[in-house]
Structure formats: structure tokens, C-alpha cells
Structure 1
Amino acid sequence: MPKVSIPSYPVSGLFGVLKPSGPTSMSIVNDIQQLVARSRLFMDPAKLEKMRGKKIDRKRGKHGRESIKIGQGGTLDPLADGVLVIGVGRATKKLNEFLGCTKEYQTTCLLGCETDSYDGEGARVRLAPWRHVTREKVEATLPQFTGNIKQVPPIFSALKMDGKPLYEYARKGIPLPRPIEEREVTVTSLELLKWLGNEHSFSWPEKQLSTEEKESLKKALQGVEENVSINDEPEESAETERPTAFVLNMTVSGGTYVRSIVHDLSHAVGSAGHVVTLTRSRQGRFVREPVEEGDRKCIPWEVFEKAMADVGEVDEDGWTEWEREVMQHLEVV
């Protein structure tokens, strides 16, 4: 790796991380915070001296966070992987610009089953026929979800209504005070990237809602749509057959819910469906792989994961491997 010259430090800056599927975005931020709080790249000597000998503790609570500003420019669901923009120091003030920027995603839709969260992390709500859905039918439906469209966010989301997150209404069976407000979003491009058919390893969630939970969800959903139905209409004689799956690629504006696009598209083709994989490949100028001038490549999470266990040896200039990687991709603010 070529040497990177930083005029003076400590610095404030932005860099992208490739989040893996599984951990929350906040846990990623908290782990990175422990590293940057021990680095002369980001900490002034006086504060760095106080950190000397203080071990990294990944099980610490919120009261154990280090005294350095850090944040992220747009949360990814635990199931999702891909680009997560990190801001350190003064750069945290720049993070808002990534909430409304253009984003690119690849997502896999699994047909035949609707879940409460619209993704594979949730519980089954209802089953629906899927054999009739063809590649041509999906492709013919995509234009309905391209351009400036109206979208209702999932009821299982952190959006608040009268101070309460929507997911609390759903879980407790509380009818919504009013319908969830539609939002206008822009889908610049939407394409069928790959038709998997039944050649995949995905399956519907094992978790199912109890009768009481279904009634609670139905009460809450009555504030979303009229004539709510969450009754199963399973595909006949298809118990041993894998349901159809396909991969979409989309470029969207900030505020777009990919889960809602998959949910609504599945309804539009006469079925039900949910997200089983979700990758953010672009967030503004931060990308998995640069394709345009000005694109900034992200750092694999494994670089930080390795440093959390052992920061490793320093080079002749006193930098560790993770620090060199960050300097290579850092946008100084």
C-alpha cells in the first residue's frame, strides 16, 4: 500500500465501511469509535495519553463510549450489508448530507410469504400463490415503481407517530391514530438483475405469528389500509418446492424503503414477498467499487474486526494496518 501524507493530525474526516450482514449499524460505529479513540490520527496527545493502557471492550454499554465524536450517515438494517458512511470529529456535521443523497441497492425478493417487517428477520404474516409469477410478469411491473412514486413506509419501522415508533403500535396491537403518511420518493432506475427461480437456498422464516399476534397486527394495519386481510392463501401442492426468488438493482433517493418496494411489487404481481438479502452498493460518493470519477471506495469491515482483536505491528512511521487503510480512503474535513 502506498504511503499517504496527512499534513497534520489529529484530523476530522469521512470514510466508508462495508458493513456485514448481522450486526447493527450502531454496533459498527461503537466498535470503530474505540479504535479511533486510541489513534493519534484522530485524537490529540493529551486525550490519547488518558487512553493509554485502556483495553478495548466490545461488550461495554452506552456509558462506556469514548469521548470522541463519531456517527454514521444512514442506518442499515441488521440484515443488510454494504456501504456505511462514518464521520469522525467535525465531519459528523457533514453526515446529514448522506441522508438525502442518491443510494444504490441490490436486493433479493423471495415470493410466496409476507412478513411483518417485510424482510426475513420478521415473522410470517400470510402465504400467497407464487407459481404464476414469471420473469416477464415482474419485468412488466417494474415501470409502476420507477420515477417519482408514492410509498407508504413499513409499519415495522422506526418512524414515529405521535411520539411512538410505528413498530410499537404493530407489536402491541394499537390502532394507528391515522394512516401512515405517504411519501414521495424517486426511483431513478429499477431493473431485474437476476432471475433465480427456485435455484437458491433461501426459505421463509420459521417464526409465525400466533392468533393473538395476528389480531394485534390486523388492528394496527387497519390504520394503514382498508379491508385488511392477513389470511393464508398458500400455493397448492408446493410444500417441498422452493418458492421463486429474484434479484433487483435500484438507484433511489434518500428516504426510500427498499422493503416497501419489494412488498408492493410482490402484491402487484399477485403474490406476497419479502426481502432476504439487501446490499447498499452506493451512498453518495462512497461505493463498494468505484465506477465514476470522484467515487470513494469503502474499507472492508474485516480490517477493523482484525484490529479490535489485535491492532498489530506499527510501520516505520508508527501507523497500524487499520490506520493506513483509513488514511488511504479518508476524506479530511
Structure 2
Amino acid sequence: MPKVSLAALPVSALFAVAKPSGPTSMTIINDIKQLVAGSRLFVEAEKLEERKRKAKSNGSHSRGNRMRDVVKIGQGGTLDPLADGVLVVGVGKGTKRLNDLLEGAKEYRTTALLGCETDTYDSEGARVRLAPWHHVTKENVESALEQFRGEILQTPPIFSALKMDGKPLYEYARKGIPLPRPIEKRKVTIYSLDLIEWKGDDHTFRWPEKQLSVEEKKAVEMALGGVEDNPTLKDEPDHAAPDQTPTAFVLSMKVSGGSYVRSIVHDLGRAVGSSAHVVTLTRTRQSRFTLNVTEPEDKGCVPWEIFQKALEEEGEADEDGWKDWERAVMDKLEIIDGKKTT
């Protein structure tokens, strides 16, 4: 177990948490900040004592409210609520290194479900178009993947946080506001893209039950005019055993910063004459931070459950004064400012 030199405290650093599917990235960061802002690992002891005195005199008993402003914390790339996996956290001067991680390559594993497009390109959204899928084979998909490898031009999803004239694209789509101009395609690089599992109908995934109303469809179509020519969200009936479980398959990919996995799956669905959306998405690696350590320079991730437990109960410190979550972080820490000794 590595130890942090007491003389070097506090430290600025990077570490990664294994985000679960469900909460937003900001929820994870804000929860972790409650712990980080009260730890001598990241905050000067004098500042911690001063804040505690002020909180006591003000009658405040909320650890989060009294401590959150004493340290900077940020993330190295947002993960959608649906997504899980590597979420890099920067503390103190470590936040200045996060842009490098945003621009660098990332690796993902995603499950695609055929036959249905959604407004968000994933299973969190509402279905907007059904299309035939029975004709799609493993060979069809493997052949179509080639056109998505290498340097490509990619249109970001209309339901994304990317801003146009100061307003997120998803606001245009939800309100049916025509885009001021077409969404600019961006040049991204898909370093690798492989089909690693053909699930067929051996899975429990289903199309979303939520559907857009006629008015909502019109609103999305109007906004989509800035993404594609003559957009239509009309279903294309599949008359071949409509009650069968739609086909699913798993992709593994390594992509440049700024790439949208959801767009790759959406566009791939159309490339094989069907439609598709993301039902699972895992970021397996970002730079040297990874879910599976394979190289000496790799940094593993701290399981989210360790932070969750610490938030629910303070827990006892060990003989050196460290809590379990602090020990877990120290084991995965990349120090930016400070010295770590063994």
C-alpha cells in the first residue's frame, strides 16, 4: 500500500472512479467533493480546522455545505447517465490537466440494439422510428464497420449538450426550434472499431416503451432539419415475426476526443438498412486510467461503492489517521503537486 508523505500534504492529483450507470457525472463529482473537501489528503490542515470552527459557530452540521468551497475539483470527460466506467477526477492543480484527457483517445464497449431509433440515440430516450432488422446479419455489420474506421466526419446528436449560439442542441430539439444553421460536422478519428460479440436474440434488452407524441415528433423533425436533409421519423413496418426479440451486438472501439459513440451506433444502424440505438455503454479506458490494468503505467479505478459507503457512514480511521476511501484513492493516485513515497 503506497503512503503519502505527511510533509507533502496536501496534494493536487488525478484519480479515476468507476462510475455506475444511472447517476450523472456531475452527481458523482459533487458527492466525491463532499469527501475530498474534508480530507487532509487534499486540503491544508489549518484550513480544515478553520472551516470546522466557523461551521460550529454558525451551527452548521452539513459536511458538504461547510467544506465544498475549500478545494477545486473537476472531471476529465462527461459520461451520460446511461454510461458507466472510467471517470477521471482532478483535484487542486490536477484540474488543469483535465483538458489533456479530454483531447486524448478513449476506449469504449457498447451494446447496440437494432430496429429502433430514439431521440437521444440511446435507451434513455423515446422511440422515434422503427425499421426492419431481421435481414441484418453479423457479416452485414462487420462489413459496414469499415466505413466508420479511420478519420471520419461525424455529426453530433441533436440531443447533446453541444451548444449553438449559447443554447444546448437538445433545447432546440425539445422545443421544436429550427437550428440557426446546420450542425457542423466534426473530424474525428476511430482508431479501432470491432464487433466482439453477436448476441442475436439472447438478451433481455427491449426497445423503449416511451414514444413521442405527434407534436413532439414534429418538433424533433423541425430541429433535425439542421442535421439531415428532409428528416422523417416515420416507422417502416417489419412484417417478419414482429414480436421477436430484436438483434443486439457488442462493439469495442478506440476513438479520439470529441467522438460520439451514440452517433456511431445510430449511423451504423442506417448503414445496414435498419436503425439502432445504444443500450449499454462503458468507458473502459481514458489515457492511462483503465478498468483493467494491463501495463505498468496503467492506473486503475476506485470502485464507486467505496465512496458511497463513506458518504453513508463516516467510518473509523486507521492507525495513520486515514479512512478506507482515502486509502483506496491513495492506491490509485497520480500526484500532480506533492511527493508520494513508499
TM-score bracket, normalised by the shorter chain, equals over 0.9
C-alpha separation in 2, matches of 1:85 and 1:304: 14
How far off its partner does 1:313 sit?
A: 1.3
C-alpha separation in 2, matches of 1:208 and 1:98: 37
When you count helix as a share of all residues, which structure comes out higher? 2
State the partner residue of 1:256: 259
Alignment partner for residue 178 of structure 1, among 176, 181, 184? 181
TM-score, normalised on structure 1? 0.95
C-alpha separation in 1, matches of 2:238 and 2:309: 46
Bigger CA drift: 162-171 or 254-263? Answer: 162-171
Q: Which runs of 4+ in 1 moved over 3 A?
A: 50-58, 63-66
Q: Is the 8 A contact 2:134 2:240 kept in 1?
A: no
How far off its partner does 1:69 sit?
A: 0.4
How far off its partner does 1:237 sit?
A: 4.7
1:214 maps onto 2:210 in alignment: no
Q: Over the residues paired in the alignment, what is the CA RMSD in angstroms?
A: 1.6
Map 1:58-207 to 2 at 5 A: 65-207=68-210
Q: Is the 8 A contact 2:18 2:84 kept in 1?
A: yes
SS of 1:200's partner is coil
Letter in 1 for 2:19: K
Deviations 1:91-113 (A, max 9, x none): 11111111111100000000000
Bigger CA drift: 20-29 or 159-168? Answer: 159-168
Q: Is the 8 A contact 2:74 2:90 kept in 1?
A: yes
C-alpha separation in 2, matches of 1:108 and 1:306: 30
C-alpha separation in 1, matches of 2:334 and 2:229: 49
Alignment partner for residue 309 of structure 1, among 308, 312, 317? 312
State the partner residue of 1:16: 16
Q: Is the 8 A contact 1:113 1:127 kept in 2?
A: yes
How far off its partner does 1:64 sit?
A: 8.4
Q: Is the 8 A contact 1:33 1:66 kept in 2?
A: no
Deviations 1:60-110 (A, max 9, x none): 7xx984331000010000000000000011111111111111100000000
C-alpha separation in 1, matches of 2:172 and 2:63: 35
CA spacing shift, 1:47–1:118, aligned 2, 3 Å: same
Give the fraction of aligned pairs with identical amino acids, expressed as a percent.
63
State the partner residue of 2:41: 41
SS of 2:134's partner is coil
Deviations 1:16-67 (A, max 9, x none): 1000000000010101100011111111112211444765577x7xx98433
C-alpha separation in 2, matches of 1:295 and 1:246: 28
CA spacing shift, 1:238–1:47, aligned 2, 3 Å: farther
State the partner residue of 2:32: 32
- Alignment size in residue pairs: 329
Q: Is the 8 A contact 2:38 2:63 kept in 1?
A: no
C-alpha separation in 1, matches of 2:79 and 2:226: 26
How far off its partner does 1:213 sit?
A: 0.5
Letter in 2 for 1:223: G
Q: Is the 8 A contact 1:37 1:51 kept in 2?
A: no
Q: Which runs of 5+ in 2 are unaligned?
A: 337-342
State the partner residue of 1:330: 333
SS of 2:331's partner is helix
C-alpha separation in 2, matches of 1:71 and 1:107: 25
Q: Which runs of 5+ in 1 are unaligned?
A: none
Letter in 2 for 1:17: V
How far off its partner does 1:292 sit?
A: 2.3
SS of 1:106's partner is strand
Letter in 1 for 2:227: V
Q: Is the 8 A contact 2:19 2:28 kept in 1?
A: yes
Map 1:228-307 to 2 at 5 A: 228-307=231-310
How far off its partner does 1:273 sit?
A: 0.5
Q: Is the 8 A contact 1:127 1:232 kept in 2?
A: yes
How far off its partner does 1:311 sit?
A: 2.7
CA spacing shift, 1:229–1:305, aligned 2, 3 Å: same
Q: Is the 8 A contact 2:37 2:68 kept in 1?
A: no
SS of 1:187's partner is strand
